[in-house]
């Protein structure tokens, strides 16, 4: 995760406040000048994003990021939940409505430009796994990078609810992150006899997840072939067989396949004493779910889940086009 990179980087101990626009203009001028000098392999350049990973949280997205990094460590730079892209997307509010038209997308492009710079001739591709909350800002990402393929990782409603609430309602991020509920959703709740302020923690968790999935579903239809919903089930095989080679257009070599299989055999968020082999827990989650969790999952998430499942059945498997 990006926070691990920062915590192990002594040079990140100090922070500075700079005018981003001014810095970006200086950097672009510098890069253009260096390119004009034709320094060969030492010329700095910026990698365009090769793919974005959006997700519902606690549904295998870290495994997806780790797989992209592990399959070719020298060629792939993968930012896993780094702060700058989401901070940029958030700066102008939902849909960029708090800034002049196009400003939010411009800001995001500038941030990604800086994060994609390299003078390493081995680096070829840039990937971002965005924080789950970043899915709410998906329209800004799509405006900024309309031609970049992206995936949305999701999971069966009861299972994702159980995973979110695993450490208790008080510690569940899905409960604390519920905010900016659209008025139409509030009206829909009231029509069904529900009051937003009186929802239980379990219902708030489900509502938050539904807002992420709703944004993803809207994005799927807006993006066409650039988007792909990916169910958590058999995620490793889907990444190897279809998502990476067909959607992100990266040739799957035997070495890359073995690297991903190795990464997929361990718990993706394992650190220190938490490092362990991965075990399937879907049936256990299904069997342990309370009636309240089942009802909340059905009311808030089932329809959206079925829409993503239907869309996933129409996945387009194109021809791998890797010029490297």
Residue 216 Rama label (left phi>0; alpha psi -120 to 50; beta): alpha
Count of residues for the chain? Answer: 324
For residue 314, pLDDT beyond 90: no
Show Cβ contacts of residue 85 under 8 Å, excluding neighbours closer than 6 positions. 79, 108, 111, 112, 115, 128, 130, 134
Interval 152-177: pLDDT, tens: 999 999 999 999 999 899 999 999 99
Reported as a pLDDT band with limits 50, 70 and 90, residue 10 is: confident
Average pLDDT over residues 31-38: 85
Interval 44-88: pLDDT, tens: 889 999 999 999 999 999 999 999 999 999 999 999 999 999 999
**150: three-class secondary structure by DSSP:** strand
Q: What is the pTM of this model?
A: 0.90
Per cent of the chain over pLDDT 70 is 92
Cα(258)–Cα(88) distance, rounded to whole angstroms? 36
Interval 90-105: pLDDT, tens: 999 999 999 999 999 9
* Residue 320 confidence (pLDDT): 41
CATH number for the 2-158+211-274+304-312 domain, one of 3.30.450, 3.40.50, 1.10.287, 3.30.420?
3.40.50
Token pair for 1: 């995760």
For residue 288, pLDDT beyond 60: yes
Cα(259)–Cα(266) distance, rounded to whole angstroms? 12
For residue 120, pLDDT beyond 50: yes
Contact by Cβ (8 Å): 49, 112: yes
Cα(17)–Cα(56) distance, rounded to whole angstroms? 32
* Residue 267 confidence (pLDDT): 53
Give the CA-trace dihedral at 203, 207, 213, 216, to 10 degrees. -170
* Residue 15 confidence (pLDDT): 79
Cα(159)–Cα(268) distance, rounded to whole angstroms? 17
Average pLDDT over residues 190-195: 97
* Residue 78 confidence (pLDDT): 97
Per cent of the chain over pLDDT 90 is 76
Show Cβ contacts of residue 148 under 8 Å, excluding neighbours closer than 6 positions. 48, 49, 50, 51, 52, 226
Reported as a pLDDT band with limits 50, 70 and 90, residue 273 is: low
Cα(49)–Cα(44) distance, rounded to whole angstroms? 16
- Measured from the Cβ of residue 312, the count of other Cβ atoms closer than 10 Å reads 16
Reported as a pLDDT band with limits 50, 70 and 90, residue 277 is: low
Average pLDDT over residues 278-285: 71
Contact by Cβ (8 Å): 291, 142: no
* Residue 276 confidence (pLDDT): 53
């Amino acid at each position: 995760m990006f926070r691990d990179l920062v915590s192990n980087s002594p040079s990140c101990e100090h922070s500075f406040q700079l005018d981003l626009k001014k810095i970006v203009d200086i950097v672009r001028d510098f890069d253009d000048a260096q390119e004009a000098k034709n320094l060969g392999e030492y010329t700095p350049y910026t990698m365009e994003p090769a793919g974005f990973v959006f997700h519902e949280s606690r549904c295998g997205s870290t495994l997806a990021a780790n797989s992209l990094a592990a399959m070719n460590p020298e060629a792939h730079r993968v930012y896993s939940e780094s702060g700058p892209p989401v901070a940029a997307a958030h700066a102008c509010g939902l849909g960029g409505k708090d800034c002049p038209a196009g400003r939010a997308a411009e800001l995001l492009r500038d941030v990604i430009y800086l994060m994609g710079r390299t003078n390493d001739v081995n680096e070829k591709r840039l990937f971002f796994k965005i924080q789950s909350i970043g899915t709410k800002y998906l329209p800004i990402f799509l405006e900024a990078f309309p031609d970049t393929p992206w995936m949305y990782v999701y999971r069966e409603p009861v299972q994702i609810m159980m995973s979110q609430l695993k450490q208790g309602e008080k510690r569940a991020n899905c409960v604390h992150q519920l905010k900016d509920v659209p008025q139409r959703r509030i009206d829909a709740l009231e029509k069904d006899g529900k009051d937003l302020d009186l929802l239980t923690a379990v219902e708030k968790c489900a509502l938050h997840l539904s807002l992420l999935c709703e944004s993803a579903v809207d994005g799927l239809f807006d993006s066409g072939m650039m988007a792909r919903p990916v169910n958590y089930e058999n995620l490793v095989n889907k990444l190897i067989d279809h998502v990476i080679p067909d959607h992100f257009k990266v040739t799957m070599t035997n070495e890359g396949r073995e690297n991903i299989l190795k990464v997929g055999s361990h718990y993706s968020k394992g650190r220190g004493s938490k490092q362990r082999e991965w075990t399937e827990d879907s049936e256990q989650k299904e069997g342990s779910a309370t009636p309240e969790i089942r009802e909340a999952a059905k009311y808030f998430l089932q329809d959206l889940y079925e829409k993503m499942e239907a869309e996933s059945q129409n996945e387009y498997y194109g021809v791998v086009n890797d010029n490297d």
